[in-house]
Amino acid sequence: MSPIYFIFVVFAGAALLATLALYARQAIIVAYILIGVLLGPACFALVKDVVWVRDVSDIGIMFLLYLLGLNMLPTQLMRMLREATVVTFVSAGLFMVLGTGVALGFGFSTPEAIVIGAAMMFSSTIIGLKLLPTTALHHQHVGQVMISVLLLQDLLAILVLLALQASADGQGSVSVIALRLFALPALIGFAYGLERWVLERLLTRFDRIHEYMFLLAIAWCLSLAELAHRLGLSHEIGAFIAGVALANCRAAPFIADSLRPLRDFFLILFFFSVGASLELSLLGVTLIPALALAGLMLVVKPWTFRRLFVRAGEAEKLAREAGVRLGQISEFGLLVTMLAAGVGVIGQRASNVLALATVMTFVASSYFIVMRYPTPMAVRDSLRQD
C-alpha cells in the first residue's frame, strides 16, 4: 500500500464518518475509532498494516506531551506532583487489585491476571487531555491536577514496561531497571543544560524566522524523545521533558500554537489504529471478560478519583469532573499488552480482552465527557470550548 493511498483512505473515511457523527450529535473520537474498525483487517481490510499505522500514530502522543510540557513551568510541575502522589499510587493499587481479581475470575493464569491488573492502573493521556479545553489545560486548576496524575501514572507505566522487558532479558533484570531509572534524572539535567546554553540562544537570535523556529522545535522534541528511548525510557517521557525544559523560553507560546495541527493529524491516526487493531473474530471468547473489565473501570475509576481528590483537599465539583475525565483505561494498556504478548507472558485471548476493554472505555468515556463537560469536540455549542 502506498503512503498516499493509505493517507487518503484513513482521512477520507474519517472525514466522512466524522461528518455523520457531528450531524447526529455524537462524539467525533468515536467516529475515528469506528472507521478504524471498518477499514481495518477485521472488516473491509483496506488498511492491513496496523503495526505501521500504530508506530506512526505514536508521534501524536509525543507531540501531545511535548505541548503539555511547553505550558508547564518546572516549579508549578513539582508542586502539583507532590500533591498528586498519594492520589496516584493509592488509586493505581486499587485498580490493579480489582483488575487482577476480575481476570482470575474469568480463568486467566496468574501472570496474565497480573498483567491485566497492571494495565488497569492507568488513565488515558489522550482522552483526558485531548478532551480538555486549552484554557482549562493551561490556566485552570483542573488541568494541573489531571496533568500531575497522568505524569505519575506514566512513570508507573514505565516501571511496568521495564519489568516486562526485564522478564524477557532474564538475568540482570534488577540492574537493568535501576540503570534505566537513573537515566531519567540524567536526561532531565542534559535537557535543561542544552536548552539554556544552545537552544534558547538560537531561538532568541532567529526569532523572526518562523519557519526555522518551527523546524528547531520539532527537532528538539524528536531528539529528546529518541534519546530517552535509547536510554531505556519511553519516547513520550522524552518529549515531555523537552517541553518542560523549553517552558520558560519566550518562544514557547508560538511553538505550542504552531504544533497543534500537527499533533491532531497524528492523533487521528492513533484512534484509527486503535479501532483497526481489534480482532472481531475472537468476540465469542473475549466480549464478556472485556465488558466486565470495562464496566468495572468506568464505574470505579471516577468514584475513586473523586473520593481521593476530595480527601486531598480539592473542591467537590473539581474532584467529580477530574474523576470522570480520568475514568478510562489507558493507551499504555495497549503498550503493556503488546509487550507482554511479545515476551510470552500473556496469550492471545488475554491480549484481545485487554485491547477490547480499552477501546470500550475509550468510546464510553469520551462519549460521556463530550455530552456533559466543556471540550473542543463537544456536540453542543454551549459546551464547545477550545
Tens of pLDDT, residue by residue, the chain (386 residues): 677 888 899 999 999 998 988 787 677 778 888 898 899 887 888 887 777 777 777 788 788 778 877 866 666 667 667 778 889 999 999 999 999 999 999 999 998 999 999 999 999 887 887 777 765 554 467 777 887 888 788 778 767 776 776 665 554 456 666 666 688 888 989 998 999 899 988 988 888 898 999 999 999 999 999 998 888 777 877 888 898 888 888 888 888 888 888 888 888 888 888 788 777 777 888 899 999 999 999 999 999 999 999 998 888 988 999 999 999 998 777 777 777 877 778 888 888 898 889 889 988 998 888 888 877 766 666 666 66
Instruction: Give the span between the Cα atoms of 130 and 143, in whole angstroms.
Output: 11
Burial 247-260 (b: 16+ CB within 10 A, else e): bebebbebbbebbe
C-alpha cell at 377: 469536540
Query: What's the pLDDT at 32?
Result: 87
Query: What's the pLDDT at 302?
Result: 95
Query: What's the pLDDT at 166?
Result: 63
CA Rg, the chain, in Å? 20
CA atoms within 13 A on the CB side of 264: 13
Query: What's the pLDDT at 341?
Result: 77
Residue listed under C-alpha cell 472525514: 15
Whole-prediction pTM value?
A: 0.77
User: Using an 8 Å Cβ cutoff, are 40 and 280 in contact?
Assistant: no
Query: What's the pLDDT at 177?
Result: 62
Query: What's the pLDDT at 106?
Result: 94
Instruction: Give the span between the Cα atoms of 299 and 305, in whole angstroms.
Output: 11
**Taking the domain 3-372, which CATH number applies?**
1.20.1530.20
Instruction: Give the span between the Cα atoms of 232 and 168, in whole angstroms.
Output: 14
Instruction: Give the span between the Cα atoms of 178 and 181, in whole angstroms.
Output: 5
User: Using an 8 Å Cβ cutoff, are 207 and 252 in contact?
Assistant: no
Instruction: Give the span between the Cα atoms of 319 and 333, in whole angstroms.
Output: 24
C-alpha cell at 49: 498494516
Instruction: Give the span between the Cα atoms of 372 and 375, in whole angstroms.
Output: 9
DSSP string across 32-58 = HHHHHHHHSTTTT-S---HHHHHHHHH
Instruction: Give the span between the Cα atoms of 70 and 228, in whole angstroms.
Output: 18
375 phi, psi to nearest 5 deg: -150, 160
